[in-house]
Amino acid sequence: MARVRISSSYGGGVDVDLPEDVRDLLASLARQLAELIDDPEAVGEPGLERLFPPASIDDPMESLGFEQLMGDALRAGKREAAAIVRATAHATHLDAEETLAWMRCINDIRLVIGTRLDIQEDTDIEAMFENELMEQAAVTYVALTELVEMLARAADPT
Amino acid sequence: MSAPTIVREPEIDVATERDVPWIVIVWNDPINLMTYVTWVFQKVFGFPRTEAERLMMDVHTKGKAVVANGPKERCEAHVATLHGYGLWATLQQDR
């Protein structure tokens, strides 16, 4: 990616210098994420499942209770973050709340793509660049990884 | 006439069960970045950076780490917050 810079800004926000095509891609991916969250046919799809993991490692009833208690709020939160990313995809400055939405949403998109690519600790992602079926997703995944890394370094967590 | 059977409610056991504290565990996963996980721990729990990094390294090297404990409701809220950030978190009673 050419000209990619995210730097700290006053009040917990960040200044964002990104090429237009990356911004367009982010807006498009955020829209796709929101669609995935509300797609009834995607139930059980591994990428979507990864966004809403079971709350208990070994107690399905506990996990079900948690889903009933928190599921709607979790989906609403992810929907809202995606909407903020779409609305601010071309902004040069993000306030603290918008920065948070970018981090959460871009990381969620990484989780979906990474799960579909079956990324493991020892996965050689660059080898996927040679695979016609995986190339586009792998290139996107690497670009989003760089963005999350930069956001986490630039944004103030306090 | 026989005396009525006194049925004792197992009050003590119930109280003990309820008093077992709950814990929140974050599990290692191959996608979330070390910098991001550290950032989330600082943001969600207000940990200083060094403490957040220590916990993140525990998750990374040991496969999991206990990040919070307390009443069930509070642990559920923490798990929901962590799921909101995309971390793989679960809760259980600390037996």
CATH of the domain at B54: 3.30.1390.10
In a domain, B71, yes or no: yes
Nearest to B86 among A111, A145, A149 (CB): A111
Strands A14-17 and A5-8: antiparallel
A102 to A14, A17, A75, B14: CA distances (angstroms): 11, 14, 16, 45
The pLDDT tens digits for A97-111 are 999 999 999 999 999
Query: Is B83's Cβ below 8 Å from some Cβ in A?
Result: yes
Residue B14: its pLDDT value, please?
56
Nearest to A152 among B30, B36, B79 (CB): B36
d(CA A6, CA A102): 12
Nearest to A120 among B30, B40, B83 (CB): B30
B42 chain-A contacts, CB cut-off 8 A: 157-158
Residue B8: its pLDDT value, please?
57
Report the 10 Å Cβ neighbour count for A71. 14
pTM: 0.90
The pLDDT tens digits for B31-57 are 999 999 999 999 999 999 999 999 999
3-state secondary structure of A41: helix
DSSP A48-74: HHHHS--S-SS-HHHHHHHHHHHHHHH
The answer to whether B83 contacts A70, with C-beta atoms less than 8 Å apart, is yes
Q: Residue A46: is it exposed, middle or buried by C-beta count within 10 angstroms (0-12/13-18/19+)? A: exposed
Residue B7: its pLDDT value, please?
58
Task: Report ipTM (2 d.p.).
Answer: 0.94
Residue A11: its pLDDT value, please?
80
In a domain, B9, yes or no: no
The pLDDT tens digits for B2-36 are 666 665 555 555 556 667 899 999 999 999 999 99
* B11: its two tokens: 């009050």
Residue B20: its pLDDT value, please?
85
d(CA A143, CA B34): 16
In a domain, B12, yes or no: no
Residue B5: its pLDDT value, please?
63
- CA triple A12-A150-A2, angle to 5 deg: 125
Domain that holds residue B59: 20-93
Distant-in-sequence, close-in-space partners of A91: CB < 8 Å, separation ≥ 6: A16, A98
Domain count, chain B: 1
In a domain, B45, yes or no: yes
